[in-house]
Each structure stands twice: as C-alpha cells, then as structure tokens.
C-alpha cells in the first residue's frame, strides 16, 4: 500500500488529473459558445444532425423496448437494431452513459459528452506517451496534440469516431505493459473495449497493432521471445474478441452479407490515386483540419477523414525526430507516412473497403510521440528542430504555390474556392511553426509556454472548425423546431408508414418510415432496391420518385410544413417554437395484404425502371426456384397494366389487408380471415432473423425481392413474426464464456505469473 503514496505516484496522478481536466477545458471552451447559442441544444451539420442525433435517440428507445437483438422499424424500411447501430453507438461506453438520461435529452447533453471524449482521449494518450519520456510533463503536451489533432477537428460531424480516438491508446498501453511486465490483462481488456466499440475501426486497429508490434520489438527482444510473445498476444486477442462476441459476431455476419461492406479490389484504384487526390492528402497533412462540407481548396467537399495536423507544432518535431533518430519509431513513421500516398498500403487497413483515411488517428498518436520525444531532449535536438522547421515551412510554401496555380476547372468548370479560408489555414500553420521554433530554441525550459500555446492553438482550430460546420449547416432554431414537432409525431394506423425521408421525423418516436440516410440498414433492403437498379452506400432510394413505390410500401402519412402542396387529408397539426408541421394522409397500401398473382424476376427486370413500382403493386416478384414452386403453381402470373391509376391498385390491396396489425421491437402480429388459402405479402425486409408462425406453428417465409410472403390457410388465424438478430445467441454465449475465462485469468494471475517465472 505504501507504494501508492510515493512522491512519483502522486506526481503521476496529478498529471493524469491535470491532463484530463485541461483537455476537458479546451473542449469546453470550443463547444460552449455553440451550446449557449442553441440554449443548451447542440447541432453542427450534415451527418451529426441527420444521423448522430436521431440514431442515438432511436437506439436508446429501441434497446429499452426490444433489447439488443430486436428490430427497429425506423431504420429505412426496418432493420436489426444491433446491426443498424453497432457501427454507430451500441458498443460505446459514452452511449451507455447517455442512457442514464431521457432519450430526447440527447441534443442537450451531447456537447458535454463530446468534452468527456476529448478528456478521455487526452488521458489515455498521456498514459501511453509518458513511458517514452524522462520528463513526463511532456506527455501532457502530447496528449493535447493527439486529442485535438486535425483528425479530431475534421471528424467533428462524425460523433462516434471520437469514441475510437478516445479508447484506441488502450491497445498500445496494453502492448507496452506486455513488454514491461509480461502482463496481458490490460491488453485483453483493451481488445475487448475496442472490438466491442466499433467492428469497422477495430479491423484497422488490429492491422496497425501488428505493424506496431513488429517495428517496436523486432531487434529489441530475442527471436524466441518474439515468437512466444506473438503467440500469447494472439491468444489474448482471441479472448478479448470472444468477450465482445455479443456484438462482434452478429456484426461480422451482417457485413459479410452487406453490399457496402464487401471488399472490391480494383487494380487501377489501389495502385494509383489521381494527382488531385494526392494533393488533397498532402494539404490534409500540413494544414489544420477543416470542415469537410466546405473545403478551402482542391475539392469543395470531401467526406474523407483526412487530417494529421498537430496543434501549433504541425510537423516540425516529427521531421526533427526523423532527422535525429533512426530507431523503431522513425521506421514506423516512414512506413505509415508512405502508406498515406500509396493506396495499396493505405486501403489495406480496412481490407480494401475504401478506408477514407479513417486510420490516420493512429498515425497521429505516433506523430505526437515523436514530437514529445524531441521536446524531452531539446538540448540535443536544436539543429534537428531547425531542419524540421525549414522542411515543414518549405512544404507549406510549396503547397501554397500548387494550390494557387493548379487549375481544377477541367474537372469542375464551376469550381469556386474560398481563398480567405485557405490563407487562414496557411497563416495558422505558419504562425504555429514560428512559435514552435521560437519556444523550442529560445527557452531552456519551455514546458509552460509550450503547454499554454499548444492549448490555445487546440482551442482555436477546434472552435474554428465547429464554426465553419455550423455556418454551413441548418440553423439551430430551425432544427430545434423540427425536433420539437417530431417528438409529437404518432402513426394513426400501425398498418402504414410515415412517408418521409428525414431521419429525425421518424426516429424520435421509433416510427416506421422511409428514412433515407443509413449505411447499415438490412441487406434485404439493398436487395429490394436492386429491383430498381439502384445502389448507394449511404442513401436509400427515394420512394416518392418512382411511381407506385411509396404506395406499395405503405407510405400513407406525409409530413409537411405546407399542406396545400400535398393532395390529401390533413390529420394533425404539430406546433413548435417557430412554426407548425402537418400530417397529411395520402393513398398507400397496407403493410400486409393477400395477393392473387405473381411476377417473375426476369419479367420484372424487362420492364422499364419507372414502371416497376406499379408492376409490384399489381403482383409481388418471385424467383423461379424450388422455394416458390408451390406459389407459382397455385397463383397465375400477373397481367401488368401500368396505365391503371395507382389509387385503384391501392384500393384493391386495402380490401385484402390483414387485420389487427401491430408492430413491436421484437416483431409484429396480425390476424386473417380469408375464404380460401391465400399468399400474404408483407412489405417488411426479409432479414435472416425472422421466423413466421400461423397459430403458433412455424411456417415458411418466401423471399419476394427482399420482402416477405407466407401462405395462410382459409378461416380465422393469428399470424406472428418474431425477430432475433442472426448470431446474437451464439455471440452472447461466447461472450459469457469469454468473460468467465477472463475473470479466472484475472483472479489467478499471480499464480500463473509465478509458474511462468519458474
């Protein structure tokens, strides 16, 4: 116990607390103006407003109502809760912290959670960095460099990316503890945390850790020890993955069947990037991160997570370190920086699934490490710092010349850039270079001024980026008004959907709708969209742009500010602080109804795309295979007449609707009373997790272009569809077993270590 109270431990504890608090304070100053401007309600722009806010609220309510393995009706046409949100929030401890508050309070607390993420990123970065410097105070500076880098700034609209930035250093701390103490406990836990947090980023982190492990220890330890340590790390990693299996296994099963997640290797892409894109990467390395929605040069917009700038110091100390040292970190930096410009290497971090530079936060930490190692050894690095400053300044000047004189009008004739933003970024980078050089060469002990000015630059670049994002986003009062109305929306009839493509409108109350912006919706939805030759990695097909499609999918309730623009009956008015929204009833089919004919897949694809929506109103599509043999023998092939008004087909389907239709987060129920055996079509995505029951007896589900058909006998019957995410039960079992093993390892650690040493 006495060791806990040594002077050294007290100093380290104070530095940890200080690092946490100063990072929180910088983030507080960066965000508080925008929180105040919204009366406590924070919005930024684009994905933050359209995805992060509604997704978190939707996931919160879905978990309370249906658990992790349930079904969310508000993710496009409906998707697994786990699969839809495991990429965004389900594995995040910060998300589970928000579960302590009312779901709809999220916009009021998200800014404070953001501050907490920055503070945690700084704290864990400090714990990793301190072991490499004699004066551990420099690790506090390095923590700020990491937490407030250009990567963090540019990704401010991707709220969940900051979870990854905050928790990634735990993996490297775990690896270092293996080297220092032969203790694998933290490494196992760190693998669990990062695997559970986000399966996509975790893949890149595994690859990075392998690279780090090789560069860090080859030549430092014996070959025999390296092999043994590698084997133990693999076993530890498998245990950590197993502990996270409840999310990891269902997610992996999902992405292997999701078109967006499939690996496509195009040689022309992975062997060569276009010069314009390389210039964009070059700029992203040298200058502060900027709003992706409003870039200063090269592109007007680019939703790539490319930012490497370290507040104030930029690349000065990185170049200085590389001039002075030729050790493992030098070699690792060379390998990583080169990877940035070679797509075959860069894209490998996410298995050639278009990484979009989302692995750069790991390079940022290595750059922060190099920077503080120079600061820790200033006396011997003066000349190298001069070389680093000259090199960095020369590259900025060269970049400026390129950006001023390269003409991009051949690619985009109407391209107009904001030169003042470019000049501002160059001025910030140039000023930081001068201040960095002055402090590191004119002061014997520059810690305090360096800490203060790095913090000031961190605040400035973060605040500036948020400002640009919010300036080009929806005004907070307008978004808040929409939010207030959406809180009131309710579906008058469970048999139909909200005819609305805006996530916020349906997700706040988990309403079935037509959401159009989610990259992790059900694979069966992608299959359905393929019927219309449509594919987009993020946005769903606009159901109102294809005749008959919105009606087919049950889009009966339309939300609008101007009801005179919609032909229908006004059902409700929803007032807010600014104006009103109206719910208008339009024609639409019920979600479930009996069909009397079918159309083959080949025939549907022979019809013009613009008429396929109406064709599916006439009859559902089926493949010609054994699964549909009974249906095709009992029903006639449809006669398609696209000239018949859509409302007539809608009326026909309404007359054959199922009754007592109710939805829940675990499935849906209905009843039927047909005079003869019928095939019933449900416009619900045919995910593998569905099981259908007629009067409690399981029945076969027939796939209909991504939707579902079942056969129902004549007479009164109760229909129930139950949903559980594929792989959830297996993953849960493995997780429980993994945690038991980890607990036993933790309890008997000392005994195992003693046996090992013997």
- pLDDT score of 197: 97
- pLDDT score of 520: 81
Better pLDDT: 270 or 295: 295
Q: Residue 749: which pLDDT band, with cuts at 50, 70 and 90?
A: confident
Strands, sheet with 678-682, edge to edge from the N-terminal-most edge strand? 592-595, 678-682, 707-712, 702-704
- pLDDT score of 414: 64
Give me the residues paired with residue 539 across strands.
517
pLDDT reading at 263 higher than 50: no
C-alpha distances (whole Å) from 558 to each of 545, 564, 575, 660 are 14, 12, 16, 22
pLDDT reading at 355 higher than 80: no
C-alpha distances (whole Å) from 528 to each of 288, 685, 716 are 42, 8, 31
Q: Residue 356: which pLDDT band, with cuts at 50, 70 and 90?
A: confident
List phi, psi (to 5°) of 451: -60, -45
pLDDT reading at 354 higher than 80: no
**Spatial CB neighbours of 706, under 8 Å, sequence gap ≥ 6:** 524, 525, 526, 527, 528, 529, 530, 531, 685, 686
Better pLDDT: 755 or 735: 735
Section 270-291 average pLDDT: 85
Across the chain, mean pLDDT equals 91
Q: Residue 443: which pLDDT band, with cuts at 50, 70 and 90?
A: confident
- pLDDT score of 415: 67
Beta-sheet pairing, 697-699 with 497-499: unpaired
* Nearest Cα to Cα of residue 317 among 399, 412, 382, 220: 382
What is the Cα 282 distance to its own chain's centre?
25
Largest CA distance in the chain: 93
Q: Residue 672: which pLDDT band, with cuts at 50, 70 and 90?
A: very high
pLDDT reading at 665 higher than 90: yes
- Tokens representing residue 725 in the block: 């995410």
Gap between the Cα atoms of 517 and 378, Å rounded = 50
C-alpha distances (whole Å) from 183 to each of 244, 294, 438, 440, 752 are 20, 47, 42, 37, 11
Gap between the Cα atoms of 213 and 174, Å rounded = 11
Residue 572 three-state SS: strand
> Is 402 exposed, middle or buried (CB count within 10 Å of its CB: 0-12, 13-18, 19+)?
middle
Section 162-177 average pLDDT: 97
Q: Please write the tens of the pLDDT for every residue from 558-568.
A: 998 888 888 88
Beta-sheet pairing, 497-499 with 555-560: parallel
- pLDDT score of 5: 52
pLDDT reading at 112 higher than 80: yes
Supply the DSSP symbol for 294: S
**Spatial CB neighbours of 500, under 8 Å, sequence gap ≥ 6:** 506, 513, 514, 557, 558, 559
Better pLDDT: 84 or 516: 84
Section 584-600 average pLDDT: 94
Contact 153, 467 (CB under 8 A): no
Minimum mean pLDDT range among 152-166, 363-377, 510-524, 608-622: 510-524
Q: Please write the tens of the pLDDT for every residue from 613-638.
A: 999 999 999 999 988 999 999 999 99
Section 274-294 average pLDDT: 91
pLDDT reading at 740 higher than 70: yes
Q: Residue 592: which pLDDT band, with cuts at 50, 70 and 90?
A: very high
The CB-side HSE value for 514 (13 A sphere, CA atoms) comes to: 23
- pLDDT score of 301: 87
> Is 330 exposed, middle or buried (CB count within 10 Å of its CB: 0-12, 13-18, 19+)?
middle
Gap between the Cα atoms of 579 and 568, Å rounded = 21
Q: Residue 695: which pLDDT band, with cuts at 50, 70 and 90?
A: very high
What would the DSSP string read from start to end of 71-82? Answer: EETTSTT-EEHH
Domain ranges in the chain?
Answer: 2-41+86-471, 488-585, 592-723
Contact 531, 686 (CB under 8 A): no
pLDDT reading at 758 higher than 70: no
- pLDDT score of 413: 63
Give me the residues paired with residue 284 across strands.
none
Angle at 617 between CA 613 and CA 618, to 5 degrees: 120
Instruction: Provide the percentage of residues in the chain whose pLDDT is more than 70.
Output: 94
- pLDDT score of 406: 78
* Nearest Cα to Cα of residue 368 among 601, 125, 164, 188: 125
Q: 10 Å Cβ neighbour count for 283?
A: 24
Q: Residue 245: which pLDDT band, with cuts at 50, 70 and 90?
A: very high
- pLDDT score of 703: 96
Q: Residue 6: which pLDDT band, with cuts at 50, 70 and 90?
A: low
pLDDT reading at 8 higher than 90: no
- pLDDT score of 7: 64
- pLDDT score of 756: 52
Gap between the Cα atoms of 184 and 749, Å rounded = 10
pLDDT reading at 378 higher than 50: yes
- pLDDT score of 514: 85
- Tokens representing residue 619 in the block: 């009859």
Q: Please write the tens of the pLDDT for every residue from 129-140.
A: 999 999 999 999
Residue 284 three-state SS: helix
Output the pTM of the full model.
0.94
Gap between the Cα atoms of 669 and 680, Å rounded = 13
Q: Residue 9: which pLDDT band, with cuts at 50, 70 and 90?
A: confident
pLDDT reading at 266 higher than 80: no
Section 600-613 average pLDDT: 94
């Amino acid at each position: 116990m006495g060791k806990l109270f040594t002077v050294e431990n007290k100093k380290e504890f104070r530095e940890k607390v200080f690092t946490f608090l100063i990072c929180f304070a910088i983030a507080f100053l960066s965000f508080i103006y925008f929180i105040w401007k919204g009366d406590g309600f924070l919005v930024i722009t684009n994905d933050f407003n359209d995805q992060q806010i509604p997704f978190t609220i939707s996931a919160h309510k879905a978990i309370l109502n249906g658990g992790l393995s349930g079904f969310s009706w508000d993710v496009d046409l409906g998707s697994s809760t786990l699969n839809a949100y495991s990429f965004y929030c389900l594995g995040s401890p910060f998300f589970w912290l928000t579960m302590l508050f009312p779901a709809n309070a999220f916009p009021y607390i998200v800014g404070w959670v953001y501050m907490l993420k920055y503070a945690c990123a700084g704290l864990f970065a400090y714990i990793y960095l301190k072991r490499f410097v004699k004066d551990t105070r420099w690790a506090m500076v390095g923590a700020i460099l990491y937490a407030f880098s250009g990567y963090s700034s540019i990704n401010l609209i991707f709220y969940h990316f900051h979870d990854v930035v905050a928790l990634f250093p735990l993996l490297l701390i775990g690896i270092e503890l293996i080297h220092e103490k032969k203790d694998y406990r933290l490494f196992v836990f760190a693998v669990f945390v990062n695997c559970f947090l986000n399966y996509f980023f975790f893949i890149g982190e595994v690859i990075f850790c392998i690279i780090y492990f090789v560069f860090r220890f080859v030549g430092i330890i014996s070959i025999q020890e390296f092999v043994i340590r590698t084997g133990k790390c693999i076993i530890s990693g498998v245990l950590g993955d197993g502990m996270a299996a409840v999310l990891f296994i269902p997610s992996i099963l999902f992405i292997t069947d999701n078109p967006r997640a499939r690996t496509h290797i195009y040689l022309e892409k992975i062997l060569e990037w276009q010069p314009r894109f390389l210039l964009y990467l070059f700029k992203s390395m040298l200058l502060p991160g900027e709003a992706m929605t409003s870039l200063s040069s090269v592109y007007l917009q680019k939703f790539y997570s490319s930012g490497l700038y370290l507040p104030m110091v930029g690349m000065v100390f990185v170049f200085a370190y590389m001039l002075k040292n030729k050790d493992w970190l030098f070699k690792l930096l060379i390998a990583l920086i080169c990877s940035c410009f070679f797509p075959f290497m860069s894209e490998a971090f996410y298995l050639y699934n278009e990484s979009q530079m989302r692995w750069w936060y790991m390079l940022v930490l290595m750059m922060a490490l190099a920077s503080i190692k120079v600061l820790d050894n200033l006396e011997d690095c003066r000349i190298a710092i001069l070389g680093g400053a000259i090199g960095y300044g020369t590259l900025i000047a060269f970049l400026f010349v390129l950006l001023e004189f390269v003409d991009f009008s051949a690619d985009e004739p109407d391209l107009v850039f904001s030169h003042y933003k470019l000049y501002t970024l160059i001025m910030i980078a140039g000023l930081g270079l001068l201040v960095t050089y002055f402090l590191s060469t004119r002061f014997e002990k520059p810690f305090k001024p360096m800490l203060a000015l790095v913090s000031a630059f961190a605040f400035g670049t973060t605040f500036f980026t948020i400002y640009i994002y919010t300036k080009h986003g929806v005004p907070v009062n307008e978004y808040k008004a929409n939010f207030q109305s959406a809180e009131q929306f309710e579906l008058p009839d469970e048999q139909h959907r909200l005819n609305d493509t805006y996530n916020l409108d349906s997700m706040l109350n988990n309403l079935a709708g037509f959401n159009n912006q989610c990259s992790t919706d059900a694979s069966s939805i992608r299959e359905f969209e393929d019927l219309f030759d449509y594919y987009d990695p993020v946005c769903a097909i606009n159901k109102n742009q294809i005749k008959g499609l919105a009606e087919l999918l049950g889009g009966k309730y339309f939300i609008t500010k101007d009801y005179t623009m919609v032909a229908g009956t006004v059902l409700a008015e929803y007032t807010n602080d600014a104006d009103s929204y109206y719910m208008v009833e339009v024609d639409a089919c019920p979600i479930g109804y009996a069909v009397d004919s079918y159309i083959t897949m080949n025939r549907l694809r022979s019809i013009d795309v613009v008429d396929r929506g109406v064709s599916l109103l006439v009859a559902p599509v089926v493949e010609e295979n054994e699964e549909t043999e009974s249906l095709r023998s009992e029903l006639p092939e449809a006669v398609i007449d696209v000239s018949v008004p859509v409302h007539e087909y809608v009326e026909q389907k309404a007359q054959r609707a199922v009754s007592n239709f109710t939805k829940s987060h675990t499935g849906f129920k209905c009843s039927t009373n047909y005079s003869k055996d019928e095939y019933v079509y449900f416009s619900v995505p045919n995910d593998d997790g569905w099981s259908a029951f007629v009067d409690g007896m399981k029945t076969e589900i027939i796939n209909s272009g991504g939707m579902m058909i079942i056969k129902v006998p004549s007479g009164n019957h109760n229909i129930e569809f139950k949903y559980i995410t594929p792989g959830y039960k297996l993953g849960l079992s493995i997780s429980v077993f993994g945690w038991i093993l980890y607990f036993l390892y933790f309890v008997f650690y000392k005994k195992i270590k003693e046996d090992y040493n013997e």
